[in-house]
Amino acid sequence: MKPITPELAEILGLLCAEGCHVISYSSYWEKFREKLRFRKSKRSERIEFYNKDVKLLSRYLDLLLNEFGYKGRITKNGKVTVARNL
């Protein structure tokens, strides 16, 4: 088991303070045999970190890059999303 580094502890602390776990489904209407059917499929799961402080968001991105090699970005809403690439 890998020991907990100070960087990992900081990531976990930031996620506990202002992070959330999101599960969403894409849904749509489909025409099937002249009737409309509602389809719910394509499950996506992600971790979001939100803050208005740009310096804190940049620090969080640097921590993710150094600890896990994950290159993220800051969205226009001030979020950093960690999701699995398929």
Quick: pLDDT tens for 9-59: 999 999 999 999 998 888 888 888 888 888 877 788 899 999 999 999 999
Distances (CA, A) of 53 to 2, 23, 27, 46, 85: 31, 25, 33, 21, 26
Domains of the chain: 6-83 (3.10.28)
The one-letter amino acid code at 19 reads G
Question: What span, in angstroms and rounded, lies between the C-alpha atoms of 84 and 68?
Answer: 13
Name the packing angle between helices 54-68 and 6-18 (round to 10°).
Answer: 130
The pLDDT value given to residue 20: 93
Entry pTM: 0.76
The pLDDT value given to residue 36: 87
